[in-house]
Each structure stands twice: as structure tokens, then as C-alpha cells.
Amino acid sequence: MLENFGTKNNSMNNIIMKMTSAYDFQDFYKEIPGIHMLNFFDLPGTRCYLDEDAKSTIIEQMAPLSYEGIHFIDSGNYHYLSLLFLLQIKEDFNLVLFDHHPDNQPPSFGSITSCGGWVLEATEQLPHLKKVFTYGTGQEIPIDHIPMDLPIYISIDKDILDRAYAITDWDQGDMSLDTMLSMLESICKNRKILGVDVSGDSGEDAENGAFVNNQTNAILFDFLSKKF
């Protein structure tokens, strides 16, 4: 079900993807003009793995919206939702990924889309995706080595952050929020940003993690909204 908050802002296409109860305990998005909420809380076949029926339902609901803008996609268990935004991009681009995990593992069975394998699926199946630059797994290249000739899509899993800045459903890194913002500043400078998504909320500890996650989400939105 699609819900709207605030006044429509035609220059952005900001989206909340509700997969757990995480956003029931947060209010940062209620201050964002024109934000859309897509509610898939009761949709089966979505936790960590996305079955074909659920994928069809989500893609259908996403169709009127766009990969442009800032998208909050709930827990890292649903980071595969990034792939569904990337499917919409019809020009060559690079992906910049902030994640404590590379999300490039082959599927455990069949070819099912998963939170741990969506990056691999994207690189194998999306002809417009040229390169993936991952930060948070210890195999980073310098930011100034990211080419300037193609636009970028940014995907952020807050599990890259220390628990002082995010409470997630996965093991976490030790990056500070200030460090992430500094890196994002460098990445966005003089580059075309197609869209951004943010995962790493907590469905398993939604109420206890809400205060920290709400603050970080608000800061990220305020920062990123100035980069379009």
C-alpha cells in the first residue's frame, strides 16, 4: 500500500520501504516533503530471500516511482531492494556501496535474489552497471579513483557504522558517522548522483534501536538531499 507524507516535492522521489516494524518507532521521514511509503510488512517471501511472487508484487508497486531520490529500505535483511531500483536505470552507471559485507555471494539454492547476493546478481545481469566500488570490507580503492565519466548510484548499509550510530540486525563495523559523511562528500563532489538507498535499520530490535537509527537516518537524509 502506498502512503504519502507531507507536501509533494516534484524534484525528488523519496521512498520508505516498510518491510519490518522498524519505521513504526521512527519519525524522521514524517518531516520529508512528498515522501512515499510502500508497505510490504505482511508480504511473505521477503525476509533475506525474495521469491518470485513477492518480487513481482514489489516491482509492480515501485513502477510509478523512480530510482532517483533517497530511499530508506529497512533492515539489511532486505538490502536486495537496491537491485530493484538498479533495474530501472537505463544509462551506464557505477555503483558505490557502503557495507560491512560485500553482498556478492552466490545463491544458496537456485537463482533466488538474496540480501547476501544481490550485488553479484546485479553485476551479472545489469548491462548498464559498469563497476562496483565497495567501502567497508577492507578492499577499498581511493575515492578519487572512482571514474568521473559515469553517474553513480549509492547504496548504504548502516552496518558499516559503529553501534553508537546505528543498531542493525547484522554484525557491524566501526566507522563513525562523520567519517561516512566525509567520504560521501568526496564521492558526490562533481559527480552526477542518480539515486541513494539506505538500509541497516533493525527489525529484530526495532524499538530499542529506534532512537539512534532515527537520528542517523535524519542526518543522512539532510546531507544527501543537498547532493541532487
Taking a C-beta distance cutoff of 8 angstroms, is the pair 85, 197 a contact? yes
Q: For the stretch 13-32, what's the b/e string if a residue is b when 16 or more beta carbons lie within 10 angstroms of its beta carbon?
A: bbbbbbbbbbbebbebbeeb
Q: Considering just the CA atoms, what is the radius of gyration of the chain in Å?
A: 16
Domains in the chain and their CATH numbers?
2-227 (3.40.800.10)
Report the alpha-carbon distance of residue 149 to residue 69 in Å, rounded: 21
Q: What is the structure's pLDDT at 221?
A: 97
How far, in whole angstroms, is CA 93 from its chain's centroid?
A: 16
Mean pLDDT score of the chain: 93
Share of the chain above pLDDT 70, in %: 94
- Neighbouring C-alpha atoms within 13 Å toward the C-beta of 159: 22
10 vs 220, more confident: 220
**In this predicted model, what pLDDT tens digit does every residue of 28-64 receive, in sequence order?**
999 898 899 999 999 999 999 999 999 999 999 999 9
Query: How is residue 108 written as a grid cell?
Result: 544458496
Taking a C-beta distance cutoff of 8 angstroms, is the pair 9, 34 a contact? yes
pTM of the complete model: 0.93
Q: What is the structure's pLDDT at 111?
A: 82
**In this predicted model, what pLDDT tens digit does every residue of 153-208 receive, in sequence order?**
999 999 999 999 999 999 999 999 999 999 999 999 999 999 999 999 999 999 99
**In this predicted model, what pLDDT tens digit does every residue of 91-125 receive, in sequence order?**
999 999 999 999 998 877 778 999 999 999 999 99
Report the alpha-carbon distance of residue 202 to residue 200 in Å, rounded: 6
SS3 of residue 23 by DSSP: helix
Amino acid in the structure at residue 49: Y
